[in-house]
């Protein structure tokens, strides 16, 4: 079985900054890591690979520096890594990203099982995985929290929904987006790190994928950030101390009283 995992390299910080000119994220000078939820997808793929004769490929779209994330994936247990890198890919929204990923998958021939994380920490949209599956014309199952059985012709999984859980059996090819509850990702081994150091990271650009510049990157993105506002927090604080302490307590009780009455009712 051929397995593919979609990986994304994300900023290793919660303080994400945006370029006010084009609304894209500023990545220069910021440390990066593999998107945490993608690690759960990778772990799922590695476990399936270890259960039989399966081939595991990881793919990421990003700048040349994203090669580091792919080497980490190889150190964890992936067989092969592909980096989609081209300046023309810059500024892509989820649609343009999915189009680029699906082009690579279509070019390489069908994969039986494609796995992705539920969402990326830098965007929180959860759209790239399902959009990629839709563009490929394969079934998509989201919010997968458990892989129950991996058969020769299909896979049985459990997915989380608002009012409980659902069990699905679906034939290959299929794309699964997994939640953090599906497993606990492993750490790379010393042997794996040695393998990753000398591994060949295959690189593909827009020409190799046969994509027109108008359909990828910022030009091919139908969604745009048109305005950026920085939230402003304003607080009015009153400090009561010393002889004013009793007055402060009374004031606090008066402020809380309406809420306590509502909760009591």
Integer Cα distance of 139 and 148 in angstroms: 18
pLDDT digits (tens, 9 = 90+) for 28-65: 655 788 999 999 999 999 999 999 889 999 999 999 99
Q: What residues form DSSP beta bridges with 161? A: 164
Integer Cα distance of 78 and 115 in angstroms: 13
User: Quick one: tokens of 221?
Assistant: 């993105």
> pLDDT tens track of the chain, all 265 residues?
999 999 999 887 655 566 666 555 555 655 788 999 999 999 999 999 999 889 999 999 999 999 999 999 999 999 999 999 999 999 899 999 999 999 999 999 899 999 999 998 887 799 999 999 999 999 999 999 999 999 999 999 999 998 899 999 999 999 999 999 999 999 999 999 999 999 999 999 999 999 999 999 999 999 877 777 777 777 788 889 888 999 999 999 998 888 877 655 5
Contacting residues for 96 by C-beta, under 8 A, at least 6 apart: 89, 215, 216, 217, 218, 220, 221
pTM for the complete prediction?
0.80
| Cβ atoms of residues 196 and 188 within 8 Å | yes
Integer Cα distance of 181 and 246 in angstroms: 49
Integer Cα distance of 177 and 197 in angstroms: 29
Residues in the chain: 265
Q: Rg of the Cα trace of the chain?
A: 23
Instruction: Name the superfamily (CATH) of residues 2-215.
Output: HUPs (3.40.50.620)
Q: What residues form DSSP beta bridges with 169? A: 156
Q: Domain residues of the chain, as ranges?
A: 2-215, 235-265
Integer Cα distance of 10 and 117 in angstroms: 13
């Amino acid at each position: 079985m051929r397995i593919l995992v979609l990986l994304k390299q994300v900023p290793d910080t919660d303080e994400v900054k945006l370029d006010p000119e084009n609304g894209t994220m500023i990545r220069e000078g910021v440390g990066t890591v593999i998107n945490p939820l993608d690690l759960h997808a990778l772990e799922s793929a590695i476990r399936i690979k270890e259960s039989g004769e399966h081939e595991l490929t990881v793919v990421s779209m990003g700048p040349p520096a994203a090669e580091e994330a792919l080497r980490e994936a190889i150190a964890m247990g992936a067989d092969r890594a592909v980096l989609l890198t081209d300046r023309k890919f810059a500024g892509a929204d989820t649609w343009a990203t999915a189009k680029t990923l699906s082009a690579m998958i279509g070019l390489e021939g069908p994969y039986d099982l494609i796995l992705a994380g539920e969402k990326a920490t830098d965007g929180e949209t959860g759209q790239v995985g399902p959009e990629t599956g839709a563009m490929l014309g394969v079934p998509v199952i989201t919010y997968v929290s458990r892989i129950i059985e991996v058969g020769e012709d299909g896979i049985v999984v459990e997915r989380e929904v608002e009012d409980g859980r659902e069990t699905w059996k679906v034939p290959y090819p299929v794309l699964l987006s997994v939640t953090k509850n599906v497993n606990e990702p492993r750490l790379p081994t010393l042997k794996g790190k040695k393998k990753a150091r000398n591994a060949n990271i295959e690189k593909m650009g827009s020409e190799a994928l046969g994509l027109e510049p108008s359909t990828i990157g910022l030009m091919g993105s139908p969604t745009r950030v048109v305005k950026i506002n920085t939230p402003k927090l304003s607080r009015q604080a009153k400090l009561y101390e010393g002889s004013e302490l009793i007055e402060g307590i009374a004031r606090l009780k008066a402020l809380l009283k309406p809420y306590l009455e509502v909760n009591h009712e």
